[in-house]
A = this chain, B = another copy of it.
Amino acid sequence: MPVDPNATAEVTAFRWVPPFAEGLVRDIRIRWALEEIERPYRVRLIDAMSPRPPEYFLEQPFGQVPCYRNDEVQLFESGAILIHLAISEERLLPFDRAARMRSVAWMIAALNSVEPAILELANIDIFNRGEGWTKERRPQVIEKIQARLKHVSDALGEQEWFEGRFSIADIMMVTVLRNLRHTTLVAEQPNLAAYVARGEARPAFQRALADQLAVFAQHQPEPEGEAA
């Protein structure tokens, strides 16, 4: 099993998050990639519910997770960490240069052409839930996401994975699309729904998910103010 307290490689992850974020925190992308290539890593836990210690910003400029480090690199941004892990691992990225760059393009598309609208919806549905402005804005964001997903669906077509083989493009796209699990937007594009399900069915994803959730279960806060 990749999670190993004595491993050289270290990934930062949150100790506990509220249920809406369970299984969605971005260290899952790195855990998944590491599981695919059977490379051991240890986990360093960060408290998501308190301000980050100032020194953490030296590792992750925005105070987020994941960071990744081993004896060679110290990195932040899940997209950069995935490229680093994939660069000499054909299981994560084709060696042929043209194909390799196409997979990188799809990975970056997930981060910059698909995720921003999805994050806007998360603000509306979760972080700013119930605020007046969200009612007027929500239909516009839904429409934007639908348009983007239609393009993603058209490009995927009947392929099993982007560019015809599993790569970090799929790790990124599947984990980005999972942020829509509280909606039916992915289900509106049957090939995308099947694609996400294929990603989630991979044993490496299942192990990564179980490991992220196990940490949260272990650090579940005590219910407050409940009378005996």
Residues of chain A at the chain B interface (Cβ within 8 Å): 57, 61-64, 72-77, 79-81, 83-84, 97-98, 101-102, 104-105, 107-109, 111-113, 115-116, 119-120, 128, 131-137, 140, 148, 151-152, 154-155
Contacts and interface: CB of A to CB of B under 8 A. Distances in A.
Contacts of A108: 77, 79-80, 108, 111
A151 B56 CA distance: 12
A76 B151 CA distance: 14
Residue among A79, A101, A136, A140 facing the most chain B CB atoms (10 A cut-off) = A101
A77 to B, nearest CB: 4
A136 B132 contact: yes
A116 B79 CA distance: 15
A128 to B, nearest CB: 7
Given A57-B151, A116-B116, A154-B61, A83 B101 contact: yes
B112 A111 contact: yes
A192 B135 CA distance: 35
Given A80-B101, A111-B112, A133-B137, 7 more contacts: A57-B155, A72-B97, A73-B102, A133-B134, A133-B135, A133-B136, A137-B137
A117 B132 CA distance: 20
Contact of A75 (B83, B102, B131): B102
Contacts of A115: 112, 116
Q: Which 9 A-B residue pairs are closest in the complex by CB-CB distance?
A: A80-B105, A133-B133, A133-B136, A116-B116, A61-B155, A79-B108, A77-B108, A111-B112, A133-B137
A116 B117 CA distance: 8
B113 A62 contact: yes
